Amino acid sequence: MGYNHGLEKKKFDNEWQKNEKLYRELGMTDEQIFAIWEFDYETFLSDRAYLEKKQDLSDYEDMLQSSNCTIDECNIEENWHEYITDVEKRRQLSELRPEQRRAYYLRKFLDMKQEDISLIINKPQTTISYWIVKISKLLK
């Protein structure tokens, strides 16, 4: 469900009515209460842009089920090559071993060091370097 500014504003106003009553009971002046309200309202407005654009991932599993794939099958780390629009390049990438595509993904998309990738994939760094260069040339 998306962000509903009107509903959130109503919640903010209701909460502030309670807070204002409490602040008055504690003996705060109108200026003090207004300063707190002003700060909270500015925070509310600054959060608005974030909350309006934030994507709820609670339906992610439903999306996977509707696309007829499991989390492993939809794993972008392993299947990023399927988004390549050039049919020939995509075919050549699909013929590579999954660990080669994964090494390239980790280096180019996640900006990991080759040393770290070699530890993850359990291959020598020179092999990882060779794979990355090979795939880079293929994608040019």
| Confidence at 44, pLDDT banded by 50, 70, 90 | confident
With contact defined as beta carbons under 8 Å apart, do 128 and 114 qualify?
Answer: yes
| Torsion from C-alpha of 70, 75, 79, 83, nearest 10 degrees | 100
pTM here?
Answer: 0.47
Contact 35, 86 (CB under 8 A): no
Q: What is the pLDDT of residues 59-115, one digit of tens each?
A: 555 555 555 554 444 567 677 877 788 888 888 988 999 899 889 988 988 889 999
pLDDT in tens, 107-125: 988 889 999 999 989 999 9
CA distance 109 to 105: 5
